[in-house]
Structure 1
């Protein structure tokens, strides 16, 4: 089952996508409303949606064209939505996988820190003894205010050296009243980072990730297939500039989803009751690796059939930020 959130004629709603139609879920403004009701009723989110029956049928393509589809999950207070992720988790295509294995096969002391981290994942990211595996690379992106809806432009700060796409699967989680996280489902996403800043020095990773992102348009309920295939594209002036397939799912990863989840939610501050979490799982496919330099107005398109409709977002105009050196006041 796949869900969307939409805003139409000033009114929000949730709909189930089926045969190209958006079937409204009665009495639901947000997906987290449905999730909280499911928790209270002791049933799955899918069962909660089915128990509500079917409301009005809308033209899904028309909703997308009109820009009325929202991110597939959000919190009414964006400060209670955390956006984070893990990197160096994906093996990539067979060719990329072979190259990565060759890079990490030598003496560990001769490896870069990134390759050491990747090697740790290969060796211990999929534990089989019931205990946690090795920790992944982890990063923070921001709160719910950075999540752009499908079709919206991704903010391009004035200080950014690059604005590049990252096609990734994101896990969506809601903490219950006792602080236990529950996975609502998965969404395809554009994790969108500043790769030029990051490549200057790996210690700039944190800076490079403090950017906008996008997920959706649909939320896939249930388990993530162990093999996900998709394609990432960049359009410029209506013409295809670049395209490349990508893969995800545990078959193509050096960590299990459970291991990545453990190493995020083991921190008590991420188990605050009522908080929503959007967690990106990483990628091995980037246009920057092929020498592409995105420009304002370029449209990023990320598609994986298991997630339904593609996610499209343009790169916004270079920002005119209002914060300058010396802008901090003194009381």
Structure 2
């Protein structure tokens, strides 16, 4: 059974780490954060699973009840938000066979391929190199630091000036950088990368603007080998009724890039190998309600679920207050 790690904060603010396998979940004694546990494992030269086993077992926990009570927080965080970096990659998933066929036919018929099409096809051809080889680099974007990471169950809030607030159901890799600059993958989470698709659609050069939004990751951090085929569902509910739902596919079997290739092209930069830093890196998706003409509204609830995760990622949509027609004022010193 796969090991899953969760972070818990009780009503008094006391933090604990929970280890779950199958339907059984227990407190990891004397550990206040997953970051602390990961640093312990690195320092002792053991795996996370071995570090959890060595810590012993505390009291059993009802995960569903604690999630419903709002006591499960994001499974990774840093006391200094500037040391948690949110990034992602796009054009990494194959989508359906029909979609791939349409893209290939469009590419063959077009006299000039779009930049997005060229990047997708280059990834399809070179995104999964052999062991030890470096493949084609993907589209890459920056989302912000730890201030932008929203706990599961909490609102994803679009800025007052946003044109759209749309879900992006994904897998996200969670990493910590060791003292010698080596990045370690702690595990994988369900993620809602959350973007402004109207802004992006206006001009693809506004992609960077569209990605400077909050994001959320599911409460469970899956430890160990990454599953190659992840299947679930992404849905939106409004006033308690489902207004949109589609299957959600991820894992390398459904991707044009390997995780190792995406990880290489992120951590090849020295600035992302600063000891002690945390990284949450979103791997992309092929499933968007925006593509089906859905216009989200504040109060809508995004829900993403997929095995082997046992808890869904849920976040309501909100809009920040403020007058989007007024310019931001920068004062001269």
Question: What TM-score do the two structures reach when normalised by structure 1?
Answer: 0.96
Residue 323 of structure 1 and its aligned partner are, at CA, apart by: 10
* 1:3-14 matched pairs, under 5 angstroms: 3-8=5-10, 9-14=12-17
Residue 98 of structure 1 and its aligned partner are, at CA, apart by: 2.5
Distance 2:331 2:314 in 1: 39
CA contact (8 A) 1:20 1:59 kept: no
CA contact (8 A) 1:155 1:319 kept: no
Equivalent residue for 2:103?
100
2:81 to 74, 78, 82: 78
List per-residue Cα deviations over 1:210-247 (Å, max 9, x = no partner).
00000011000012111110100000000111100021
CA contact (8 A) 2:232 2:305 kept: yes
Distance 2:184 2:109 in 1: 40
Distance 1:268 1:100 in 2: 35
The SS at the match of 1:229 is strand
Residue 129 of structure 1 and its aligned partner are, at CA, apart by: 6.4
Aligned residues: 330
CA contact (8 A) 1:152 1:313 kept: yes
Distance 1:308 1:295 in 2: 27
Change in 2 beyond 3 A, CA 1:327/1:81: same
Change in 2 beyond 3 A, CA 1:59/1:321: farther
Distance 2:320 2:295 in 1: 14
Distance 1:103 1:309 in 2: 39
Query: In terms of mean alpha carbon deviation, does 19-28 or 234-243 score higher?
Result: 19-28
Equivalent residue for 1:303?
305
**Does structure 1 residue 33 correspond to structure 2 residue 27?**
no
Question: What TM-score do the two structures reach when normalised by structure 2?
Answer: 0.96
CA contact (8 A) 2:6 2:220 kept: yes
Residue 127 of structure 1 and its aligned partner are, at CA, apart by: 1.2
The SS at the match of 1:62 is helix
Distance 1:32 1:101 in 2: 43
5+ residue gaps in structure 2? none
CA contact (8 A) 1:296 1:318 kept: no
Change in 2 beyond 3 A, CA 1:321/1:223: farther
* 1:1-331 matched pairs, under 5 angstroms: 1-8=3-10, 9-106=12-109, 110-128=112-130, 130-320=132-322, 324-331=326-333
